[in-house]
Amino acid sequence: MDRRAVGDSGLRVSRLGLGTLTWGRDIPPVQARALLNRFVEVGGTLVDTAAAYGNGDAERIIGRAIHTDLTRDDLVIATKGGFGVRHGQRVVDTSRTALLDDLAGSLRRLHTDHVDLWQLHAWGTAPLEESLAAIDHAVSMGMVRYAGVSNFVGWQTAQAATWQSAFPGRAPVVSVQVEYSLLARRAEVEVIPAARAFRLGLFAWSPLGRGVLAGRYRTGIPRDSRGGQAHFSWFIEPYLEARPRSVVAAVATAAAGLELSCAQVALLWTRDAPGVSAPLIGPRTVEQLDHLLETEQMKLPAEIVAALDDVSGGPNAGRTP
């Protein structure tokens, strides 16, 4: 699999990343490890996880795989801190104490002494300089190689990048992670321009529009889909309305003409969008993973890209004419 630089940093990753949001909850450990092994087998390196995913189970699965199936150098591990579930409630805590506790737990579960990329999982109420100082400490101690932010809007991304570049010795912010797909192009308004201005890499989560762009919901909600599960239905429902359906229909038309699947077309659009370092895919089975990996040598025709741009929100200002 081809490699891409993450912004102007020295960090290089496979141009597809493997997401682990549902590992340990919806995807059992044996199945998740099969996905990870297959991903590495075909040259994938970037694995995105978080202390909060599966209450730590996603990191545990990766750690066991490193201990038994893989070597640490096989992976570029990107994890996150500052977000979790306490007493059934989602809590954002980006204080120094919470962040360093999260990192210590991540390293323990991952069976490693360092992570390649550590990201603030969300914008918190703690002073930003306190959160970023925790990252500086982790980098200086060798526990973290590179720093990033996740789910920040444009001005938050710019503020974090500016603060870290203000004085020598601070760990630069090298990446931002945000939802980005044909059904979620809001990142083009502020986040992607901020990433471009500060020369950051961009990781696009949910490049298949939370699964909707794969076309499974065109005639209803399958029982075995994420939209058919009580704990995930709220996540899918916004993309089942009339406007998203029109985008999915356009993707299906393009797929039929190109003899590809809807999922492949949607992934290619995001993978090759300006500024994207890697989309983060979340297949549930090795078969689904292999299907997405078939796109490695593919590229959408320019006229198809332009048509999909138009139907999903207008021309992408970052594309070269």
Give yes or no for a contact between 202 and 175, defined as CB atoms under 8 angstroms apart.
Answer: yes
Residue 207 has pLDDT above 90, yes or no: yes
Q: What domains appear along the chain, each with residue ranges and CATH number?
A: 3-208+274-297 (3.20.20.100)
Report the alpha-carbon distance of residue 80 to residue 279 in Å, rounded.
17
**Tokens 């995913």 identify what position?**
53
Lowest mean pLDDT among 4-18, 71-85, 208-222, 290-304: 208-222
Q: What is the pLDDT of residues 160-179, one digit of tens each?
A: 999 999 999 999 999 999 99
Position 234 scores a pLDDT of 83
Q: Across residues 49-61, what is the average pLDDT?
A: 96
**Is there a contact between 150 and 120 (Cβ–Cβ < 8 Å)?**
yes
Structure confidence at residue 18 (pLDDT) = 98
The whole-number pLDDT of residue 147 equals: 98
184 pLDDT above the threshold of 70: yes
Chain CA centroid to CA 34, Å: 20
Looking at per-residue pLDDT, the higher value among 39 and 317 belongs to 39
Q: Are 7 and 201 spatial neighbours (Cβ–Cβ below 8 Å)?
A: yes
Half-sphere exposure of 302 (CA within 13 A, CB side): 3
Closest CA to 268 of 288, 239, 289, 297: 297
What is the predicted pLDDT for the residue at 321? 63
- Look at strands 83-86 and 89-92 and give their pairing: antiparallel
- Distance separating alpha carbons of residues 30 and 105, to the nearest angstrom: 22
Section 90-110 average pLDDT: 96
| pTM for this entry | 0.95
Instruction: Give which of 127, 111, 139 is closest to 9, Cα–Cα.
Output: 139
Q: Is residue 99 pLDDT above 90, yes or no? A: yes
Region 109-124: mean pLDDT is 98
| For the chain, percent of residues with pLDDT exceeding 70 | 99
Rounded distance between C-alpha atoms, residue 214 and residue 202, angstroms: 22
- Start-to-end CA distance of the chain, whole Å, equals 27
User: What's the CA gap between 59 and 48, in Å, rounded?
Assistant: 10
Per-residue model confidence (pLDDT) at position 317? 83
Whole-angstrom distance, CA of residue 278 vs CA of residue 173: 17
Higher pLDDT, 24 or 224: 24
Q: Enumerate the active-site residues.
A: 53
Q: What is the pLDDT of residues 57-95, one digit of tens each?
A: 999 999 999 999 999 999 999 999 999 877 778 899 999
Residue pLDDT, tens place only, 147-160 = 999 999 999 999 99
User: What pLDDT, on a 0 to 100 scale, did the predictor assign at position 194?
Assistant: 98
Q: How far lies 73's CA from each of 41, 47, 100, 116, 225, in Å?
A: 13, 12, 24, 10, 34
pLDDT, one tens digit per residue, over 232-264 is: 788 899 999 999 999 999 999 999 999 999 999
| Average per-residue pLDDT for the chain | 95
Going from the C-alpha of 236 to that of each of 165, 217, 226, 231, the distances in angstroms are 38, 10, 7, 10
What does the pLDDT read at residue 55?
A: 93
Q: What is the mean pLDDT of residues 304-315?
A: 97
